[in-house]
Structure 1
Amino acid sequence: MSIQLAKLSEPAVRDFVAAVNAHDRTAFRAVLTPDATMSDDGTERDLDEWTEREIFSSHGHLDIDKEKAGGRSLIARYSNDTWGEMRTRWDFVVEGGKVTRFETGQA
């Protein structure tokens, strides 16, 4: 059973998930700091290139199963047109109401 978006504890993470699921590039960039960074399965990635490929052009979608660390750590079923659905973890660093870093990978 998924956690409803409105129930996520951390506002910046809630906005991140909402932007991903709406495929809204503008809202997505608005929740990130200009110098935000990310990694996928422990490998540093170019944020713009990765998000375009893994989220926006492939219709990425997050269904949240569990949150921890005050809403800054999620376990989710992530799906996109490229990979189908997989169980993933998402960890966020939030400063000043914006995401400065996120790390994702298989859970």
Structure 2
Amino acid sequence: MIPDSELSDPAVRALVAAINANDHDAFRAALTDDATMSDDGSDRNLDDWSEREIFSSHGRMDVESESDGGRSLVARFTNDTWGAMRTAWRFTVTDGRISRFDTGQA
């Protein structure tokens, strides 16, 4: 596993650290105001999805590998709803913050 603090891209590092700390404010700070996301190929409402999949269900990412300068991750994502699953994450970074991420089972 790659510790949060050793992830290559600073914006991705901030978002993963916020998820793992269950820190909603830090999560939002890592994103642009108009950030978007998709889960398993379908666009989702970012606020609803993050509340359900991360914050209220204690989501956590254990990063297995990174590529594309740290903007693509494979991680074991665990939450109280679904348990653990191997997931892929792709991030678009704009001006040092994440403007979009796409996730799904790996």
State the TM bucket, normalised to the shorter chain: over 0.9
- In structure 1, the residue corresponding to 2:62 is in which secondary structure? strand
Residue in 1 that maps onto 2:50: 51
Give the share of equivalent positions with the same residue, in percent.
63
Secondary structure of the structure 1 residue equivalent to 2:50: helix
SS for the counterpart of 1:27 is: helix
Residue 84 in structure 1 maps to residue 92 in structure 2: no
What is the DSSP-based 3-state SS (H/G/I as helix, E as strand, rest coil) of the residue aligned with 2:77? Answer: strand
Whether 2:61 is the aligned partner of 1:62: answer yes
Letter in 1 for 2:97: K
In the aligned structure 1, how far is the partner of 2:43 from the partner of 2:63? 23
Structure 1 vs Structure 2 CA RMSD: 0.4
Residue in 2 that maps onto 1:98? 97
2:30 pairs with 1:14: no
Mapped to 1, the partners of 2:70 and 2:16 lie a distance apart of 12
Structure 2 residues without counterparts, runs of 5 or longer = none
Q: CA deviation at 1:73?
A: 0.2
Offset at residue 74 of structure 1 (A): 0.1
Q: TM-score, normalised on structure 1?
A: 0.98
Distance (whole Å) between structure 2 residues aligned to residue 46 and residue 3 of structure 1: 28
**TM-score, normalising length: structure 2:** 0.99
Determine helix, strand or coil for the equivalent of 2:86: strand
Number of residues of Structure 1 aligned to a counterpart in Structure 2: 106
User: Could you say which residue in structure 1 is the equivalent of 2:33?
Assistant: 34
Distance in structure 2 (CA, Å) of the matches to 1:37 and 1:29: 12
CA-CA distance at 1:43 after TM superposition: 0.3
State the secondary structure of the residue aligned to 1:88.
Answer: strand
Q: Deviation of residue 24 (structure 1)? A: 0.4
Shift of 1:6: 1.5
- Stretches of 4+ aligned residues off by more than 3 angstroms: none
Question: Residues 25-60 of structure 1, C-alpha deviation per residue, up to 9 Å, x if partnerless?
Answer: 000000000000000000000000000000000000
